[in-house]
A and B are shown apart, each in its own frame.
Chain A
Amino acid sequence: MREQLVTIRFDEIGLKGKNRPLFEKRLADNIARALHIDASRVKRERGRIYVYPEREDERLLRRLEQVFGVKTFSPGVRVPVAVEAMEAEAIELARKEVDGGAKTFKVDARRALKSFPLDSMDINAHLGRRVLEAFPELSVDVHQPDFKLQVEVRPSGIFLSTRTYQGPGGVPVGMSGRALLLLSGGIDSPVAGWMLMKRGLAIDAVYFHSPPYTGERAKEKVLELARVLARWKGDQVKVYVPYFTEIQVQTAQHVPSPLWTIIHRRFMHRIAERIAEADGFNALATGESIGQVASQTVQNLQCIDRAVRILVLRPLTGFDKVEIVNLAKRIGTYEISIQPYEDCCTLFAPKNPKTKARLDHVESAESQLPADRLIAEAFERMEVITVNAEDG
């Protein structure tokens, strides 16, 4: 009996005690969801996860590249524990590589089943010989082979593969709790969300909409970014869209312009905190960095932080713009982010924002605004949109 499968490896470092089965279970569940296959096709076994797909499908591999917790994976074959079956399959796999133009190879065997008659070295030598007999044009190169025939002998079968791909690593999404991401249309915030998902947080998003000062296209762009994040999450992403216009209009009327941005952001954090409390998020997340724009200073971040009690995660604080841009390109959000629809109307962006705001000044300026009424209105007119990875 011969079965197609994908072997998935994950990082065990740092996994201790009860965490390890939790990690494995979560990862297996996430893989099943991301690949749209039944959980029974994802098997856990001693530090490995095996996926038995219904049929060979290149798209499956592309999706695995986006499942956090996956370190590497190899599509391959499982055969019964028998030397002949192993040989036959090794030759079969080598044939595909030779057809694809491979000239050199090596065998990399591991024996986890000690009762198997050949040990790792024996298997390397034996299969190497057999493959060379079958394909005299091939030669062995132990340093830089065109393909590496990986063989693992386990109680449940012998696993063979010639290809290994990199996963994104990290921790399975959902292991570490939930965070609500303040998502704008810019480059930074989706990257911040991605980094936290990589550490196992399940992300949903909040986008502050200010019609007519921000248009439908700007909102559409945010939803498109959420769709990319949903692919990495392996699940749908909820986007909360509170009504922000009145807060901006009132701020513009009653507050000196250098403080606008800080006050807007304090309101955004307050509204996000309320959503978090109502819907069970453990933290907020933002794409703020330090020193990137005039208003992102430690003094200003502190003023913003003081508006809420909830933990605010800012994973980009140590990053340069170039690093963020490179990550955004890798994640797949960059091209969307640079589309020229303003995420927040520039009418409300002061030309000379305060760089080192003092909390007492901010608080006294803010006291001019009917905060409770404004926040209540933001919720009254809030829209909640669910974005699926596969839409669009």
Chain B
Amino acid sequence: MTREIYLDNNATTPIAPEVVEAMIPYLREHYGNPSSRHRKGLEAERAVRQSRETIARLLGVNETEIIFTASGTEGDNIAIRGIARARQRQGRHIITSRVEHPAVLETCRDLEAEGFQVTYLPVARDGTLSPETVLHALTDETILVTLMHVNNETGAIFPIEEIARQVKRTNTRVVIHSDGVQAVGKLKPDLTDVDLYTVSGHKFHAPKGIGALVVRQGVHLKPIITGGGQERGLRSGTENVAGIVGLARAMELAYQDFDARRDQLLKLKERFLAGLEEIPDAHVNSPANSVPTTVSVAFAGAPSEVLLNALEAEGIYASAGSACASAHKSHRRRSHVLQAMGLEPALIDTTIRFSFSRYTTMEDIDATLQALRRALPQIRAVARGQRATHR
């Protein structure tokens, strides 16, 4: 098997060669600790400062507003727990949605156990969320609204800029956090009214183990990681210098020729969607208002796990929209995102998520469609046969 078509870029992306190049000097010769007073430390500190400036410029914020983290999950925790702890005297109500990443959902559940009230907003059938829904949930006790920018399973976009503006207009004291892990590189976020924004490197061709949290001026967080006081005391621990350099380089690449690349990705998506229309009983779960890199689709009658195995045998890597495709439900849970959208179990269990990147080609799309057309009839026949004999 020589061919490799990687369509699981929402899980993680390959590191861009340019990013590797940029990092190598910081893995080899510039190994200093940015906190050291000598020249080795200075080299490292300079690299961190320049990277911070690059990232700040690309996100349209001040460089003092960038905190480097080890992952999206860590960024979400620092933001949500940091606000909860800092503001608990002001109020104990948090608003989020039912379709958030576990990094947010589990953190909110944990805070509930500590006595916070959390509202988990429902989403529309297409996975979208309106600013009005958020406004209705606001109370005098609300201290934090935390909503993802782009959904990892469907690619649905939340109008986070608009939500932030309207919430701020209603109550300026409410803090707005957004998990932007799936948005960076795919959208140009406008953080004017957003207080906290989570970034993860490995979703846009930087390595795993590096991320950032935007903390806007004047937003006070209680640190959850204490130590040497790095990153404005919000994320103590020696800086991952090579990772930081890689993160900045990856973000530069992501916003270089952004519009041209976006057009290209849209063409890929259109081609894929057109191809899916030819396949019987393929239901696209991703809404019209979604990023061009994500297509969630249910192939009714074909358990997603089996179809994924068949695709993998042809060198095509995607993932299940839901972890569960087996008849024994005990081990697994169905996707909470697709459930929140009101999708019936038969569709959830047959959903596959394809996620593209700048390295995806038209040929990849065509080969994937071809593989789907080849694999589906037999899998469906077998599954149908099983259902029929049980009737």
CA gap between A352 and B390 in the complex, in Å: 8
CA gap between A56 and B36 in the complex, in Å: 43
Q: Given the known A-B contacts A212-B375, A340-B331, A342-B328, are A347 and B312 also in contact in the complex, defined by CB atoms under 8 Å?
A: no
Q: Which residue of chain B has its CB nearest to the CB of A214?
A: B309
CA gap between A126 and B223 in the complex, in Å: 67
Least CB distance, B87 to chain A, in whole angstroms: 40
The segment from A24-32, A187-195, A252-260 that touches chain B is A252-260
Contact: B390 with A212, CB < 8 Å?
no
Least CB distance, B325 to chain A, in whole angstroms: 9
Given the complex, which residues of B lie within 8 Å of A211, measured CB to CB? 309-310, 313
Report if B386 contacts A (CB, 8 A): yes
Contact: A249 with B309, CB < 8 Å?
no
Given the complex, which residues of B lie within 8 Å of A349, measured CB to CB? 327
Q: Given the known A-B contacts A249-B378, A342-B326, are A347 and B386 also in contact in the complex, defined by CB atoms under 8 Å?
A: yes
Instruction: Name the interface residues of B358-391: CB closer than 8 Å to any CB of A.
Output: 375, 378-379, 382-383, 385-386, 389-390
Given the complex, which residues of B lie within 8 Å of A350, measured CB to CB? 389-390
Name B308's contact: one of A215, A253, A257, A340 (CB within 8 Å): A215
CA gap between A349 and B305 in the complex, in Å: 16
Least CB distance, B373 to chain A, in whole angstroms: 15
CA gap between A214 and B306 in the complex, in Å: 7
Contact: A215 with B312, CB < 8 Å?
yes
Contact: A252 with B327, CB < 8 Å?
no
Contact: B327 with A346, CB < 8 Å?
yes
CA gap between A340 and B375 in the complex, in Å: 24
Least CB distance, B205 to chain A, in whole angstroms: 26
Name B303's contact: one of A256, A340, A347, A351 (CB within 8 Å): A347
Contact: B390 with A215, CB < 8 Å?
no
Given the complex, which residues of A lie within 8 Å of B386, measured CB to CB? 252, 257, 347-348
Main secondary structure of the interface of B (DSSP, over half): helix
Report if A345 contacts B (CB, 8 A): yes
CA gap between A340 and B389 in the complex, in Å: 26
Main secondary structure of the interface of A (DSSP, over half): loop
CA gap between A335 and B332 in the complex, in Å: 17
Given the complex, which residues of B lie within 8 Å of A342, measured CB to CB? 326, 328
CA gap between A349 and B390 in the complex, in Å: 11
State the interface size on chain A (CB cutoff 8 A). 21
Report if B148 contacts A (CB, 8 A): no
Contact: B385 with A212, CB < 8 Å?
no
Contact: B312 with A216, CB < 8 Å?
yes
Least CB distance, B12 to chain A, in whole angstroms: 17
Q: Which residue of chain B has its CB nearest to the CB of A218?
A: B309
Contact: A213 with B390, CB < 8 Å?
no
Contact: A347 with B375, CB < 8 Å?
no
Instruction: Name the interface residues of B244-282: CB closer than 8 Å to any CB of A.
Output: none
Least CB distance, B206 to chain A, in whole angstroms: 27
Q: Given the known A-B contacts A212-B310, A212-B313, are A347 and B327 also in contact in the complex, defined by CB atoms under 8 Å?
A: yes
Given the complex, which residues of A lie within 8 Å of B104, measured CB to CB? none
Given the complex, which residues of B lie within 8 Å of A257, measured CB to CB? 386, 389-390
Given the complex, which residues of B lie within 8 Å of A256, measured CB to CB? 389
Contact: B382 with A249, CB < 8 Å?
yes
CA gap between A216 and B315 in the complex, in Å: 12
CA gap between A212 and B316 in the complex, in Å: 13
Q: Which residue of chain B has its CB nearest to the CB of A213?
A: B306
Contact: A213 with B309, CB < 8 Å?
yes
CA gap between A257 and B375 in the complex, in Å: 23
Q: Which residue of chain A has its CB nearest to the CB of B311?
A: A212
Least CB distance, A342 to chain B, in whole angstroms: 6
Q: Which residue of chain B has its CB nearest to the CB of A256?
A: B389
B binding-site residues for A, Cβ under 8 Å: 303, 305-310, 312-313, 326-328, 331-332, 375, 378-379, 382-383, 385-386, 389-390
Which 4 A-B pairs rank lowest in CB-CB distance, beginning with the nearest? A212-B309, A340-B331, A212-B310, A257-B389
Q: List 18 A-B contacts (CB under 8 A).
A: A211-B310, A212-B310, A212-B313, A212-B379, A213-B306, A213-B382, A215-B308, A215-B312, A253-B385, A257-B386, A340-B332, A342-B328, A346-B326, A347-B383, A347-B386, A348-B386, A349-B327, A350-B389
Given A212-B313, A213-B306, A352-B390, 9 new contacts (CB under 8 A): A212-B310, A215-B308, A216-B309, A249-B378, A257-B390, A345-B306, A347-B382, A347-B386, A348-B382
